[in-house]
């Protein structure tokens, strides 16, 4: 089934945007879970033209300068109140443009008793604290936040088997920097899978001025970065396999827009979420261990907690030579997807106000895919 309407540009979309064709590959039943996982392909049919300057660039530039001044000049105890105040400056605009789909998604996943308005306002503040986290890593001198990593023993046990590990990260506001920092401080050297436009903006201005500070800070806590675009996905696969064969650790963030395939699965009471399929594919085709990871800000600018799940192992994993067919075993991949979904739901219930991306209540075939309250970075 083709979803060509999903790929068409609307009038509000700039002419430089790329166009994609999204198709359903398969609906896969996982017998032991009595659940279905839907696989999609996302194929580029018209490349976009990089914009020199985007509408977001002036706002992000001003915020970057503001938070550099705040991090350098103000006491740490003032940082969170400043972020909260600044987040409310555009509250009416955010409520008008983003709140309705956000509330719909939150209620679908967590239930109608959830106060979506309070969560939404808390998320806006968390997004600004995320910007100030970057500024603090650049200019703050006396700032020494604590990071606690849970689940490290499971990761070390997997690495002792000698086949490497993949860590599937969620898009919580503190994951970008503090998830990597927690692993680094625990002595884990990880390689991050990343796209060329990783960061704040995809414009030429953003790639040159806005994104490098974030990339440079992240690189402090990484052993390497596996950067790719759509023209060299095969080469990326080779590089990931090489890292895993050397018993390395690979980080992949749940971003369905970077790869060529993704999945859709039920989440919570009546919601749906979209998960990247690449981590499940790698886990199914090889011997590398797979973990989920979520990073939470427990006390703003003071305490952070990164949580590694137990190793994700399907109920009926293949053995021996059968494991080489894992890349073709969609039931096995779907089993990994459901295990990841379970970890995501648990993390959402713990800290919903820090999750940046929420899918809509409808399935992808029922309505245009939307992300509520996501700042796009």
Side by side, the strands of the sheet bearing 271-276 are 2-3, 19-30, 35-46, 261-267, 271-276
> Which portions of the chain are predicted below pLDDT 70?
1-16, 230-232, 257-258, 317-327, 367-377
Query: Residue 320's pLDDT is what?
Result: 46
Query: Residue 98's pLDDT is what?
Result: 94
- Tokens 């020494």 — which residue? 144
Among residues 20, 19, 27, which one has the least CA distance to residue 1? 27
- Tokens 């713990």 — which residue? 350
pLDDT digits (tens, 9 = 90+) for 289-331: 999 999 999 999 999 999 999 999 998 765 544 444 545 789 9
List of residues 6+ apart from 357 with CB closer than 8 A:
171, 371, 372, 374
CB count in 10 Å sphere of residue 168: 28
Query: Residue 291's pLDDT is what?
Result: 98
Query: Residue 367's pLDDT is what?
Result: 59
Query: Residue 19's pLDDT is what?
Result: 83
DSSP run (H or E) holding 27: strand 19-30
Among residues 211, 195, 194, 193, which one has the least CA distance to residue 203? 211
Query: Residue 80's pLDDT is what?
Result: 98
Among residues 264, 290, 231, which one has the least CA distance to residue 361? 264
Residues facing 276 on adjacent strands: 262
Contact yes or no for 117/99 (Cβ under 8 A): yes
User: Could you give the CA distance from residue 377 to residue 370 in angstroms, rounded to a whole number?
Assistant: 15
Q: Could you give the C-alpha distances from 360 to 20, 43, 179, 368, in angstroms and in order?
A: 20, 22, 26, 9
| pTM for the model | 0.90
Contact yes or no for 342/353 (Cβ under 8 A): no
Query: Residue 318's pLDDT is what?
Result: 57
Query: Residue 376's pLDDT is what?
Result: 36
List of residues 6+ apart from 195 with CB closer than 8 A:
227, 228, 229, 255, 258
């Amino acid at each position: 089934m083709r979803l060509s309407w999903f790929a068409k540009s609307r009038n509000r979309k700039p002419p430089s945007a790329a166009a994609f064709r999204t198709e359903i590959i398969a609906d896969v039943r996982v017998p032991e879970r009595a659940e279905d996982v839907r696989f999609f392909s996302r194929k580029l049919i018209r490349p976009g033209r990089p914009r020199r300057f985007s509408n977001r660039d002036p706002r992000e530039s001003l915020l970057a300068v503001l938070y550099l001044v705040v991090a350098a000049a103000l006491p740490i105890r003032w940082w969170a109140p400043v972020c909260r105040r600044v987040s409310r400056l555009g509250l009416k605009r955010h409520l008008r443009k983003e709140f309705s789909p956000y509330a719909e998604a939150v209620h679908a996943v967590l239930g109608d008793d959830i106060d979506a308005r309070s969560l939404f306002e808390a998320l806006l503040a968390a997004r600004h604290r995320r910007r100030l986290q970057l500024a603090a890593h650049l200019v703050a001198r006396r700032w020494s936040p604590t990071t606690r990593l849970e689940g490290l023993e499971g990761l070390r046990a997997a690495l002792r088997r000698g086949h490497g590990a993949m860590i599937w990260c969620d898009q919580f506001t503190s994951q970008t920097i503090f998830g990597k920092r927690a692993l680094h401080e625990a002595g884990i050297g990880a390689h991050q899978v990343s796209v060329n436009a990783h960061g704040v903006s995809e414009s030429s201005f953003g790639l040159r001025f806005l994104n490098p500070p974030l990339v440079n800070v992240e690189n402090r806590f990484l052993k390497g970065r596996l950067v790719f675009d759509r023209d060299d996905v095969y080469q990326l696969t080779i590089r990931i396999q090489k890292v895993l064969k050397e018993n390395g650790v690979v980080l992949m963030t749940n971003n369905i827009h970077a790869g060529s395939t993704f999945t859709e699965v039920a989440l919570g009471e009546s919601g749906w979420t979209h998960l990247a399929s690449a981590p499940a594919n790698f886990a199914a085709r090889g011997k590398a261990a797979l973990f989920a990871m979520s990073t939470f800000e427990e006390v703003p600018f003071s305490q952070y907690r990164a949580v590694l799940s137990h190793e994700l192992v399907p109920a009926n994993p293949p053995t021996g030579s059968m494991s080489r067919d894992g890349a073709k075993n969609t039931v096995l991949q779907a089993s990994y997807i459901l295990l990841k979904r379970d970890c995501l739901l648990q993390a959402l219930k713990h800290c919903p106000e820090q999750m940046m991306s929420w899918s809509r209540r409808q399935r992808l075939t029922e309505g245009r895919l939307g992300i509520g309250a996501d700042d796009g970075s």
